[in-house]
Chains A and B, each alone.
Chain A
Amino acid sequence: EVQLVESGGGLVKPGGSLRLSCAASGLTFSYAWMNWARQAPGKGLEWVGRIKSIPDGGTTDYAAPVKGRFTISRDDSKSTLYLQMNSLKTEDTAVYYCTTCGADCYSDYWGQGTLVTVSS
C-alpha cells in the first residue's frame, strides 16, 4: 500500500522560509515522479510543482505563483520528497499535499497534507 506522510508545516512570518518533507513507502520511490499541490483554507486545489525521477532526468516544473521561490528536491536513499519554500507570502497559506504521478501524471496517491500558515 502506498503511503505518503508530509511534515514540516507550521506558522511562519511573511518573507520567511520553510521546508516540507514527504516520506514515501509502498512504492519504488526512485522511479516515481512526484507532485506537490496545495489548498488554501476553504478554497480549491492548486498544483504547485513536479519532479521527475532521476532516471528520467530529475527535472522540475513549477506553477507561476511559486516559480523562483519554491524548490522541489528528492532524496531517493530516504524515499523522501522535499519542498523548500522561500520568500513566503500570506497567499501561500494552505494545506500542502504531496502526490504520486500516475501515468501521464495525474495524482494517483495523496498524503494527508501539512498546514502552512504565513502570518505576521
Chain B
Amino acid sequence: EIVMTQSPATLSVSPGERATLSCRASQSVSGNLAWYQQKPGQAPRLLMYGASTRATGFPARFSGSGSGTEFTLTISSLQSEDFAVYYCQQYNNWPPFTFGPGTKVDIK
C-alpha cells in the first residue's frame, strides 16, 4: 500500500500571503495525484487532479506541481475563503486509493 504524507500539519498564513503545501508518496505515483479542499462541516471538493490540473471553479491562484513521489500545492495569495483543510490522494496504485493526513491552513 502506498503511504501518503503531508507537511506541515498546520500552516498559519496571513491573508494575501503565499501558502505552500507538500505531499509525499512512499513510492512513485507518476502524475496520478489529486488535491481536495474541505471546509468545516462540508464535504471535500476536488481541487486538482493529474497533479497540476485545476478542477472546475477554482481560480488560478491555486497551482499544483510535482511527479513521482514529491508534490506541491501552492496558493499564491490567500483569500479568506481558502482557509480549509487540504488533502492529497494518489490514484496510481490501487486498491486502495490512499489519502494523506491533511494540511490545515488557518489564519495567522
Which A residues form the contact surface with B (CB < 8 A)?
Answer: 35, 44-47, 49-50, 61-64, 97, 102, 104-113
Contact = CB atoms under 8 A, between A and B. Distances in A.
A61 B91 CA distance: 13
B95 A97 contact: no
B92 to A, nearest CB: 8
Nearest to A4: B43
Contacts of B96: 47, 61, 63-64
A108 B46 contact: yes
Interface of B, secondary structure class, is: loop
Given A105-B97, A106-B34, A107-B34, A97 B46 contact: no
Interface stretch (B12-20, B68-76, B98-106): B98-106
B43 A45 contact: no
Contacts of A47: 89, 95-99
The main secondary structure of chain A at its interface with chain B is: strand
A113 B46 contact: no
B49 A44 contact: no
B61 interface: no
A49 B94 CA distance: 10
A102 B34 CA distance: 11
